[in-house]
Structure 1
Amino acid sequence: MTEALSDRRPAPSLERLLADLVPPPRFSEARLENYVPDPARPSQEDAKQRVTAFAAELAAPRGGFLAKLRRRKSGPARGIYMDGGFGVGKTHLLTSLFHAVPGHRVYGTFVEYTDLVGALGFQKAVDLLGESVLVCIDEFELDDPGDTLLMTRLIRELSDRGVAIVATSNTLPDALGEGRFAAQDFLREIQAMAERFEVLRIDGEDYRRRDGVTEISALPEAEVSESAASMDGATLDGFDTLLGHLIRVHPSRYGALIDDVSAAHVTGMHGLTHHHDALRFVVLVDRLYDREVPMLVSLADAAAAPGVLAELFSEELLRSGYRKKYLRALSRLASLTTDGGALLHSGTAGAAS
């Protein structure tokens, strides 16, 4: 019988949380040398050159304890904040920096760091991360007041210890939280955090769109179910059942939720109208994308748009403060379903045992 993601109850250990603080498989080979800027977008080349220079600064001899003490007295460490649309190479540059810098460094998404603080306690997390040369934060977002206070304080304390912090986001630092909660009430904290960063604005077109991947491809339900039954390590879920299960699993555990999954099959996919369902599904899509897990999906109403899921997120959702998150998810989901279709028709999937 094919396993379902909704049957899984991941409970990653602290050791697992720490081990996961590395770049995801999709970006394991990302290097500054193979980041290819779009010639029509000078900001991409500028960002590459600045990140390259920053890597050289961090790789320079640090001079032992006395030099570290002098750095602390001279002021907090500066970091880089890469802002721009989705698919312009921010994560590629971030992971390239991680690989270019020697010494102890950590890499995680925003939600992975908030979960780590929850598991360790704030001070212990600061002490642990404070031993790093570099802390990389991908998908930096402030979605609620609690996360705002926690992450702004974490960044200040790590910076005060001389730790370089580099983050990527779809939102400029001073605009974090806009349209999501009463960000003006936390303006002082947000601005104090933003002062620690040099902002690099990276323009460009989503590279997945340049590759011709623009639509979320859907298949007949019977074909999705048959595919799931024929593949080792595949999972099969109804869309609504999966959404219900995601409520009971913390988003920081979505990576563990898809451990050893070769392809995720989802039937009955339909449009979403509420943020609570949509945002959890966005995180799942991000983890599937990071781990290069193909998706094969069918629609709840295939007759409405044969072969293509036209509107996953409602117009109201797309007009909200989370618009960029939703658009990124659509782009990544299109890529994942394209990979799923290629896997299905390649004839390379292993027979189920």
Structure 2
Amino acid sequence: MSAPTTASGSAGRIAAEATEAPAALTTRAPQVPAERLVAEMVPPPRFATVSFDNYITDPGQPSQAEAVEALRAFAARLGGGADAKGGRRRHWFRRKAKPAAICGPRGMYLDGGYGVGKTHLLASLWHATPAAPELKAFGTFVELTNLVGALGFQQTVKTLSGHRLLCIDEFELDDPGDTVLVSTLLGKLVEAGVALAATSNTLPGKLGEGRFAAADFLREIQGLSARFRTLRIDGEDYRHRGLPAAPPPHSDETVTRAAHRVPGASLDDFPALLDHLSQVHPSRYGAMCDGVQAVCLTGVAPVPDQSTALRLVVLADRLYDREVPVLASGVPFDQLFSEEMLSGGYRKKYFRAISRLTALARDAKTLADAPYKR
């Protein structure tokens, strides 16, 4: 049968060429069981094999090499958390507090701009810590707060108290409730002997600044800060260091055609996807992307409001973690957020999202010319 040539136009021709319609993220609203939330608290695929050795330091930024050495030493001090065979530690032998000889703060806080490799270093710490995988936890701040919501506070404390190390990526305090919740949780975990490590674009004493009345919660914020030794990591965004400019957006037809040609690709209208994100908890965005090999978006346009923008940031993080390329039409990714957003309290989150989406757009450049599915 020949391809249609009537009102459906190019979309009809593309559908006729395809052997299988692409998936749509807007049809997915996964329910993630609590046991999966705990089991998946490991470094994401992009950081599954990183190490201190393959972190490329910038000779012009000595703070990077200093951070590597400080984290190596911290990991070494966390030894002794597993039995001789590397198996699960027997809880009846674990002391309630101070199970390891660690002096000073029981946490390391990696502060720096987006793209300086903080998540690489945090995951490297997780890998380097000499304890069985089930005695270490790695997750984003959003995933941690969602774990509390799924398990309840007391059960979360019980579950994580048996760990040697808790790594928290993208540490942010966006509202007073999170401030009190996380402060109390980390306090309980430190008392149980859990070591902490976190990354953020904001110094611990400045968390919440520009987002809510942080002064009203100064005691909680200062309490969090006291638990960490801050490592400042300077440098430029490695994702774009010495690379060509990001590829320009494609046409709707090119993106749609690629979605039908690339195995495992999804295809969504950008405004519809933004609406859908408001109906799915951000902690489930990773599960929403399960099995997706490429994300194709048509009609990318500036994000209309801050709540929507923050949800998009989380989706960008999960796609980046999973190394999912993004092929898009519409405006370039550096035009997603308004000048007001880029100068406000969440500006570092937005710049991180732009950086990561641009890297994923560069990864997707070859998809526009992908061969037909077989």
Q: Answer yes or no: same fold by TM over 0.5.
A: yes
1:350 positional shift:
6.5
Secondary structure of 1:71 counterpart: coil
Q: Which residue of 2 aligns with 1:79?
A: 107
Indicate the structure (1 or 2) with the bigger Cα radius of gyration.
Answer: 2
Q: Which residue of 2 aligns with 1:51?
A: 71
Q: Mean alpha-carbon deviation: is it higher for 330-339 or for 210-219? A: 210-219
2:287 equivalent among 234, 256, 271: 256
CA contact (8 A) 1:217 1:338 kept: no
Structure-2 change in CA distance of 1:213 and 1:102 (3 Å):
farther
1:214 positional shift:
4.6
In the alignment, the residues of structure 1 paired with residue 96 and residue 158 of structure 2 have an alpha-carbon distance, to the nearest angstrom, of 16
Q: Which residue of 1 aligns with 2:296?
A: 265
Q: Which residue of 2 aligns with 1:95?
A: 123
Q: Aligned Cα RMSD in Å?
A: 2.1
**Structure 2, unaligned runs of 5 or more:** 1-20, 84-89
Spell out structure 1 runs of 4+ moving beyond 4 A: 60-67, 72-77
In the alignment, the residues of structure 1 paired with residue 126 and residue 274 of structure 2 have an alpha-carbon distance, to the nearest angstrom, of 34
In the alignment, the residues of structure 2 paired with residue 235 and residue 223 of structure 1 have an alpha-carbon distance, to the nearest angstrom, of 14
Structure-2 change in CA distance of 1:165 and 1:213 (3 Å):
farther
In the alignment, the residues of structure 1 paired with residue 97 and residue 113 of structure 2 have an alpha-carbon distance, to the nearest angstrom, of 38
1:217 aligns with 2:248: yes
List aligned pairs for 1:165-244, cutoff 5 A: 165-212=196-243, 214-215=245-246, 217-244=248-275
CA contact (8 A) 2:122 2:167 kept: yes
1:264 positional shift:
0.4
- 1:32-87 CA-to-partner distances (Å, cap 9, x unmatched) read 11112100000000000000000110125789977835727999961101100011
1:339 aligns with 2:370: no
1:68 equivalent among 95, 98, 102: 95
Q: Which residue of 1 aligns with 2:9?
A: none
1:154 positional shift:
0.8
Secondary structure of 2:166 counterpart: strand
Structure-2 change in CA distance of 1:56 and 1:350 (3 Å):
farther
Q: Which residue of 1 aligns with 2:13?
A: none
Q: Which residue of 2 aligns with 1:284?
A: 315
Secondary structure of 2:181 counterpart: helix
Structure-2 change in CA distance of 1:7 and 1:69 (3 Å):
closer
1:311 positional shift:
1.4
In the alignment, the residues of structure 1 paired with residue 81 and residue 27 of structure 2 have an alpha-carbon distance, to the nearest angstrom, of 50
CA contact (8 A) 2:141 2:172 kept: yes
- 1:176-226 CA-to-partner distances (Å, cap 9, x unmatched) read 001111111110001011101100011000001204155363101100000
List aligned pairs for 1:73-152, cutoff 5 A: 78-103=106-131, 104-152=135-183
In the alignment, the residues of structure 2 paired with residue 20 and residue 35 of structure 1 have an alpha-carbon distance, to the nearest angstrom, of 24
Identical-residue share of aligned pairs (%): 52
Structure-2 change in CA distance of 1:260 and 1:350 (3 Å):
farther
Letter in 2 for 1:90: K
**Structure 1, unaligned runs of 5 or more:** 301-307
1:16 positional shift:
1.4
CA contact (8 A) 1:21 1:107 kept: yes
Q: Which residue of 2 aligns with 1:305?
A: none
CA contact (8 A) 1:2 1:234 kept: yes
In the alignment, the residues of structure 2 paired with residue 225 and residue 137 of structure 1 have an alpha-carbon distance, to the nearest angstrom, of 37
1:13 positional shift:
1.1
**TM-score, structure 1 as length reference:** 0.92
In the alignment, the residues of structure 2 paired with residue 76 and residue 200 of structure 1 have an alpha-carbon distance, to the nearest angstrom, of 14
1:139 positional shift:
0.3
1:158 aligns with 2:186: no
Structure-2 change in CA distance of 1:79 and 1:269 (3 Å):
same
Letter in 2 for 1:11: Q
In the alignment, the residues of structure 2 paired with residue 44 and residue 350 of structure 1 have an alpha-carbon distance, to the nearest angstrom, of 44
